[in-house]
Amino acid sequence: MNDHGFVKKQDPEVYAALEGEEKRQAEGIELIPSENYVSRAVREANSSILTNKYSEGYPGKRYYGGQTYTDIVENLARDRAKQLFNCKYANVQPHAGANANIGLYFALLEPGDTILGMDLSHGGHLTHGHPVTYITKIFKFVRYKMKNADTGEIDYDEMREVAKKEKPKIVLAGYSAYPRELNYAKFVEIAREVGAFAVMDIAHIAGLIAGRAMKNPFDFGFDVMTTTTHKTLRGPRGGMILTRESEEVAKKIDKSIFPGLQGGPLMNAIAAKAVCFGEALSPKFKEYAALILKNAKAMEEVFRKANIRMLTGGTDSHLILADVFGSLGMSGKEAETLLDEVGITLNKNSIADDTRGPMDPSGIRFGPPAITTRGFKEKECARVAELMVEAMKNKDDKKKLSAIREEIRAMCKKFPIPESFV
Ligand code: DSN
């Protein structure tokens, strides 16, 4: 529903772009697995008058006056986050997932210290040590990999060997393009052997952990988890750091985020995080999380039947990484552009040890978190996957592509984006 009345009156150019985006979201199938549709309540909190307020510091210990209500919302967000993820401490101030990761590194490490993370082409994230990021000028990153990209099994022997040799201070799990559940106990075992912190970046699967559809790494002894709040968790854009039980670590993290890395927190976003965490605590969210997994499986099945190679052989989570170049001779970029034309949005993605470059890689990455929010069940998700395959296999058949576009439009009309989930 349009709520841009004041923008319309005051700034027609921005208004036109907002309207265009609203229509794009309403009429297309969103399969980027890190995107979602938030509730109206989350949006209201996110655009609330809390954007007017400066609140450097933490509840009860701020640098400016007038903090009665900011303290209330930040405490609500922290308490709900702790309850959701079963931990003792939460810092809800990171403006983004990248800030959460960078703030954490500075909290736990000294310059020159080492982090052991997943090889980036096997699913890791930029902030896990990509050479283009500034953190690689400060910390040393060493790598483990999958043993076999067709099963997804992590090479834990290699991980242990590298850990013993390099003595990392952090053993890092959690990825943006890896679809399998991890052997968390193994990570913790290796981290303990070398005296490192076991850290998990749960950004992609935070909603699945909160909704109890996937395991919680804290149950296996992980020390800290970082996350975004806007992916499967279905909240506002933002980040968060959770500490299982060490008060000393939690204090270091607080200091690192403010004043170490950031200035004033975005209190409007923190209010929206509180609303999102409230939604995630509801029984309906558990149903949502469970349905994401079923819907992803339904899509996996269609790709398997179509003989399209999926990295790791399939998925245990909300995302699928398919080797369209290897299977169909179509690059990831070509597939992304083609599917965009029929109303399906997803992203091109590198696959493990990709021989093609990152701007035109071999793979596509997609998943059902957003369409599940829209009410799609297994039947509809399977149909979307069939339409994807049909489009890719008939990329030059204009008539067929136009029929697919029409079917997508009709599906979107049948499943409007909901405004409330409780
Ligand atoms: N850009 C995010 C994703 O799509 O996975 C990661 O930060």
Domains belonging to the chain, first-starting first, are 44-280 (3.40.640.10), 287-414 (3.90.1150.10)
Nearest CA to ligand 1 atom 6: 176
187, 322 contact by CB (below 8 A)? no
pLDDT (0 to 100) of residue 2:
58
Instruction: Point out the residues that are catalytic.
Output: 54, 56, 201, 228, 231, 237
Residue 101, ligand 1, Cβ within 6 A: no
Instruction: Return the amino acid letter for 354.
Output: D
Residues of the chain short of pLDDT 50, as ranges, are: none
Number of Cβ atoms within 10 Å of the Cβ of 9: 9
Spatial contact of 195 and 114, defined as CB atoms under 8 Å apart: no
Residue 271 DSSP symbol:
H
At residue 399, the 3 state secondary structure works out as helix
Handedness of CA 89, 91, 97, 100 (dihedral sign): negative
Q: What is the rounded CA–CA span in Å between residue 368 and residue 104? A: 30
Q: What's the pLDDT score for residue 121?
A: 87
CA 307 to the chain's CA centroid: 28
Name the nearest CA neighbour of 111 among 136, 131, 139.
139
Annotated binding residue 247:
yes
Q: Which of 30, 32, 34 to probe ligand 1 with, by most ligand atoms within 8 A of CB?
A: 34
Contact (Cβ atoms closer than 8 angstroms) between residue 318 and residue 369: yes
Nearest CA to ligand 1 atom 4: 34
To test ligand 1's pocket by mutation, which of 125, 319, 350, 364 has the most ligand atoms within 8 angstroms of CB? 125
* C-beta of 34 in contact with ligand 1 (< 6 A): yes
Name the residue with the closest Cα to ligand 1, atom 5.
Answer: 176
Phi and psi (nearest 5°) for 203?
A: -45, -50
Locate the ligand 1 atom nearest the alpha carbon of residue 228 and give its number.
Answer: 7
- Which amino acid, 181? E
Give the pTM: 0.97
| Triad 391, 302, 231: Cα angle to 5° | 85
Q: How many helices (H) and strands (E) does the chain have?
A: 17, 14
What is residue 287's predicted lDDT score, i.e. its pLDDT?
Answer: 98
320 alpha carbon to ligand 1 midpoint, in Å?
14
The answer to whether 312 and 151 have CB atoms below 8 angstroms apart is: yes
Q: Cα dihedral sign for 176, 182, 185, 187?
A: negative
